C-alpha cells in the first residue's frame, strides 16, 4: 500500500528565508501528488497538485513543488517565507495512480516563521 513520509513534524524558518518541506512516497506507480495547507481552526486548502505533464508545479501563495520520480519525492518550496505562511502543511498522494478511491495523507509539517 501507498504511504507518505513528511520529514520533520516542525520546521522553523526566518522571514525571508527559503522554505523547504519534504515529502516522499512509497509507490513505484506514479501517483497523483498534492500539497495542502491548514491555517489554525480551518479546513485544508489545496496549494498545488501534480497529475501529469510538467514535473515542476506552481501553486498559490508563491509555493511550488517538483515531482522527482527517481527519488519518489515531491518537496514543497518557497523562495522567501512570509509570516502569513505559518500553518500546517500536508502532503498527500493517491493510491494507485489516480484511478482510486483513496487519498493518503502524510502526518503533516507545522511551519513556524520567525520575524
Binding site for other proteins (CB under 8 A): 4, 9, 32, 36, 41-46, 49, 51, 90, 92, 94, 98-103, 105-108
Q: How far is the CB of 58 from other proteins (least distance, A)?
A: 15
Would you say 17 or 105 has its CB closer to other proteins? 105
Backbone angles phi, psi at 16, to 5 degrees: 95, -10
Please, which residue, 54 or 99, has the CB nearer to other proteins? 99
β-strand pairing of 87-94 with 103-105: antiparallel
Rounded least distance, CB 83 to other proteins, Å: 22
What residues does 24 pair with on adjacent strands? 5, 73
Classified as helix, coil or strand, 45 is strand
Q: Which is nearer to other proteins, 36 or 63 (CB)?
A: 36
Backbone phi, psi, residue 69, to 5°: -65, -40
| Nearest distance from C-beta of residue 46 to other proteins, angstroms | 5
Task: Compare residues 41 and 70 and give the one whose CB is closer to other proteins.
Answer: 41
Q: Determine the Cα–Cα distance for residues 83 and 54; give it in Å rounded to an integer.
A: 30
Amino acid at each position: 500500500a501507498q504511504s507518505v513520509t513528511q520529514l520533520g513534524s516542525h520546521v522553523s524558518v526566518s522571514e525571508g528565508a527559503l522554505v523547504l518541506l519534504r515529502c516522499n512516497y512509497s509507490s513505484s506507480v506514479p501517483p497523483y501528488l498534492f500539497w495542502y495547507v491548514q491555517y489554525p481552526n480551518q479546513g485544508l486548502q489545496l496549494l498545488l497538485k501534480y497529475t501529469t505533464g510538467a514535473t515542476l508545479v506552481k501553486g498559490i501563495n508563491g509555493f511550488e513543488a517538483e515531482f522527482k520520480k527517481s527519488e519518489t519525492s515531491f518537496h514543497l518550496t518557497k523562495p522567501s517565507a512570509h509570516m502569513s505562511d505559518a500553518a500546517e502543511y500536508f502532503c498527500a498522494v493517491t493510491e494507485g495512480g489516480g484511478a482510486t478511491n483513496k487519498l493518503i495523507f502524510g502526518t503533516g509539517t507545522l511551519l513556524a516563521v520567525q520575524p
